A = this chain, B = another copy of it.
């Protein structure tokens, strides 16, 4: 049997309704709930917001060839990561996730094995983050396209925006930066020799949105601005600065970076990974000077580190360990740069 025939046969056997039915069954294990009263099989999902709360809405592409590679990334990880990274935007507002809508386009040839593993990964992270599926749209495409919409909630007026910080505020990050990029490079160099469980790949394959950190800061109104680090510090910090109308000075020696395996210390520069590596989904936040003493070393089990401060002059300066100041170049992820 040639592959084209097999492809057609798979298509005929499945049909849109059959594929949609499988997705619905996999994602609606818990059935209708009080906040999602009609399940996921209608034209639209019905969701009951809590009274006195604001709704937080975010959406995220996760595209084959752009955000993941079909031959490199296990489908379980693709399912996990597509929701985890979208929920990270909810964490970055200091909000809690409530439900998600997944739109999926995929080749008919992936509607059995690949789809099942993908749904297993998605189901696992959905359960872990307490964020059930509310609906979605499915179609066929020659490449896998995933789009996630996540609905969250926060107390009215408590969402932490990017724009309310001031010069003089301290700049913090959660976790270690660059670990996801390090994991990607390890995976690219040795895909056939390592397993998806290798701890160096954990951050790249199974990111954890920092919901606990975001909620802790929102509850105490400690962060003057916050965003998540998806494209890398050197790309994302300028965005926060632009939204607040400030610049920043950050100190190289303070930036938490990956612990490299001995064999990699010559190949990789840990500071470069931390400055420019994307996909970490750590939080970048600012705190006014009088509130700095109220920020503990760990929040919800995650280390947080002061790396610099916002300044009036609208540029991003990196202070090297030698004391030398340079303009920080954007070398993070930008799909429109070639």
Question: A29-70 CB contact bits vs B (8 Å, 1 = yes)?
Answer: 000000001100111111111010111111111010010000
Contact A15 B162 (CB under 8 A): no
A244 to B236, CA, bound (A): 49
Q: Which residues of A contact B (CB under 8 A)?
A: 8, 11-12, 14-19, 37-38, 41-49, 51, 53-61, 63, 66, 89-90, 92-93, 95, 99, 101, 103, 105, 108, 111, 134-137, 139-141, 145, 147, 149-152, 154, 156, 159, 161-163, 227-228, 239, 243, 334-338
Are B63 and A56 within 8 A (Cβ)? no
Determine which of B101, B145, B154 lies in contact with A149 in the assembled complex, contact meaning CB atoms within 8 Å. Answer: B101
A145 to B61, CA, bound (A): 10
B residues in contact with A163, CB < 8 Å: 41-42
- Residues of B contacting A15 in the complex (Cβ-Cβ under 8 angstroms): 334, 336-337
Interface of A is mostly: mixed
**A227 to B43, Cβ gap below 8 A?**
yes
Closest residue of B by beta carbon distance from A243: B41
> Does A58 contact B43, Cβ atoms closer than 8 Å?
yes
Min Cβ gap A272→B in Å is 21
A315 to chain B, nearest CB (A): 16
A228 touches B336 (CB 8 A): no
Residues of B within 8 A of A43 (CB): 58, 89, 92-93, 162, 227-228
List B contacts of A12 (CB < 8 A).
337-338
Given contacts A46-B55, A59-B103, 9 further A-B contacts (CB under 8 A): A12-B337, A16-B335, A37-B54, A43-B89, A43-B162, A49-B53, A59-B149, A61-B137, A63-B139
With A93-B43, A337-B15 already in contact, the answer to whether A137 and B54 are too (CB < 8 A) is no
Contact B42 A335 (CB under 8 A): no
Query: What residues of chain B lie closer than 8 Å to A156, measured between beta carbons?
Result: 48
Q: Taking the full assembly, how many copies of this chain does it contain?
A: 2
Residue in B59, B93, B101 whose CB lies within 8 Å of A136 = B59
Cα distance A63–B149 in the bound complex, in angstroms: 17
Instruction: Assess the A61–B103 pair: CB atoms within 8 A.
Output: yes
List 11 contacting pairs A-B, 8 Å CB cutoff, sorted by A: A11-B337, A15-B336, A15-B337, A42-B93, A46-B93, A51-B51, A58-B135, A60-B103, A66-B105, A66-B139, A103-B147
**What residue of chain B has the Cβ atom nearest to residue A159's Cβ?**
B46
Residues of B close to A59: CB separation below 8 A: 101, 103, 135-137, 147, 149
Nearest CB on B from A28, distance (A): 14
Given A12-B337, A111-B336, is A151 in contact with B57 using a C-beta cutoff of 8 Å? yes
CB distance from A163 to the nearest CB of B (A): 7
**Known contacts A51-B51, A61-B137, A139-B61; A56/B66 CB under 8 A:** no
Q: Measured between C-beta atoms, what is the minimum distance from A194 to chain B in Å?
A: 29
Cβ-closest 3 pairs across A and B: A44-B58, A140-B335, A43-B92
Give bound CA distance, A243 to B38, whole Å.
12
- Chain B's nearest CB lies how many Å from the CB of A143? 9
Min CB–CB distance A59 → chain B (angstroms): 5
Cα of A14 to Cα of B334 in the assembled complex, Å = 11
